[in-house]
Amino acid sequence: MTASDTGTGAAKHNHDRPLIIVRTLDAPRDLMFNVWTDPEHFKHWWGPKGCAVGTSKMDLRPGGTLLYSMRMPGGPELWVKLVYQEILAPDRLVFASSFSDENGNITRAPFSATWPLEVTNTLTLGEQFDKTTLTLLSHPVNATDEEWRTFESAFSSLHQGFSGTFDRLAEYLAKI
């Protein structure tokens, strides 16, 4: 079906295209899982280069949350809330992420009125020869077509941002 076949002048959006990021790091899987789930580790590597992370609260259990702030030099403080859905140490971590206020109330992204309110992230960790390959799949939850389009239009910048974050992770792993 083409856009003109729908009768609306706009094609129906396909909601099955997640963001996929794969990275292999020089660390065993148990350590990799620990740096994702221990707030003392997490704050040292999460976010793009130059980003400062402050952890407010982490409750690592299904239904538990991580509430943290992020600040780029000269930028505003942003709050993010993760809600853990599945924890299968050291193989898999599933969590929903949302922008929030400092109390964990979900808010719109400060950079886009059409960014999805909630994005589910599935992190899988595979180990071979003391190296860990992490795979991150992300997709909006209960998003409108416009929110999906906004999410997909950001794939390039999301890949770039996660690349910087995972560079920081590799540097942090080399120190511990």
- Contact between residue 96 and residue 120 where contact means Cβ atoms under 8 Å apart: yes
Judged against a pLDDT cut of 70, whether residue 51 lies above it is answered with: yes
pLDDT per position as a tens digit, 65-81: 999 999 989 889 999 99
Q: Where are the domains of the chain?
A: 17-175
For the whole model, what pTM was predicted? 0.89
Given this model, what pLDDT does residue 2 score?
A: 38
CA dist 42 and 64 (Å) reads 16
Q: Tell me which architecture the domain covering 17-175 has in CATH.
A: 2-Layer Sandwich (3.30)
Given this model, what pLDDT does residue 8 score?
A: 41
Mean pLDDT of the chain: 91
- Beta bridge partners, 75, equal none
Burial 90-127 (b: 16+ CB within 10 A, else e): beebbbbbbbbeeebeeeeeeeeeebbbbbbbbbebeb
Phi and psi angles of residue 82, each rounded to the nearest 5 degrees, phi first: -110, 140
Q: Is 131 exposed, middle or buried (0-12, 13-18, 19+ CB in 10 A)?
A: middle
pLDDT per position as a tens digit, 1-41: 333 334 443 444 566 789 999 999 999 999 999 999 999 99
Given this model, what pLDDT does residue 13 score?
A: 52
Secondary structure (H, E, C), 10-49: CCCCCCCCCEEEEEEECCCHHHHHHHHHCHHHHHHHCCCC
pLDDT per position as a tens digit, 117-131: 999 999 999 999 999
